[in-house]
């Protein structure tokens, strides 16, 4: 029962990780630049994501531009796109496989089959968490290095946006769910008994009693 409860908890952690990875992939605020200027009324917030760039004005207007050209994008954005999409696909596949391996479901009725499915689902979650963590870390490193560069103008410096933090949390959920699924199928072997079993004294002493009884009857004869 304990391993079944662990699998249910791991399943929900991985499910939150999948949703978080999908949301982080689609959000346009991977990096944010708030250009307030001299007047708060003309403040502009520029956001850049993997698929589009958006601009929010203090007047309430909001405009986005899709990134149609793939070859014109920097290498780290192209790589981040690929790895985040792979992370979403593999994590969704892990959800389907781990459902078969959960002990609270009737799919894959043989215990060995369910154990193998649970381990494979956990490995899928670990791989998807790694694929999500690498582009998030690479993107964050690029933002920080550009922000600390004194040659870059302040108007073009960006800070990590909400999608970055969502990606980090999602990767953590996927790692936790994958580890719990992989460890939930390990069987605990009982410790070997160091003390040999004791012999039953009643059966061993019974022949002696019979001999004594026979000896005493012979004496009376």
* 28-55 residue pLDDT tens: 999 998 665 555 555 678 889 999 988 8
pLDDT tops 60 at residue 201: no
Give the pTM. Answer: 0.76
Q: Give the mean pLDDT of the chain.
A: 81
In 10 A of CB 3, how many CB atoms? 17
> Each residue of 117-139: pLDDT tens digit?
889 999 999 999 999 999 999 99
- Mean predicted confidence (pLDDT) in 14-27: 94
Reported as a pLDDT band with limits 50, 70 and 90, residue 220 is very low
pLDDT value at 217 more than 50: no
Alpha-carbon distance of 46 to 146, in angstroms, equals 16
């Amino acid at each position: 029962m304990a391993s079944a409860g662990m699998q249910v908890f791991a399943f929900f952690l991985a499910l939150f990780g999948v949703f978080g990875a999908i949301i982080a992939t689609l959000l346009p605020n991977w990096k944010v630049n708030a250009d307030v200027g001299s007047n708060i009324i003309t403040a502009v917030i520029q956001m850049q994501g993997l698929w589009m760039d958006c601009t929010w004005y203090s007047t309430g207007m909001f405009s986005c531009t899709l990134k149609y050209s793939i070859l014109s994008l920097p290498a780290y954005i192209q790589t981040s796109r690929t790895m985040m999409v792979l992370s979403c696909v593999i994590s969704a596949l892990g959800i389907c496989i781990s459902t078969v391996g959960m002990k609270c479901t009737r799919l894959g009725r043989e215990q060995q089959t369910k154990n193998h499915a649970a381990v494979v689902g956990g490995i899928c979650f670990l791989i998807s968490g790694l694929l999500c963590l690498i582009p998030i870390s690479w993107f964050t490193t690029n933002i920080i290095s550009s922000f600390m560069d004194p040659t870059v103008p302040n108007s073009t410096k960006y800070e990590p946006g909400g999608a970055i933090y969502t990606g980090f949390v999602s990767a953590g959920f996927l790692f936790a769910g994958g580890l719990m699924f992989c460890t939930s199928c390990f069987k605990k072997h009982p410790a070997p008994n160091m003390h040999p079993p004791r012999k039953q004294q009643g059966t061993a002493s019974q022949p002696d009693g019979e001999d004594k009884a026979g000896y005493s009857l012979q004496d009376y004869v």
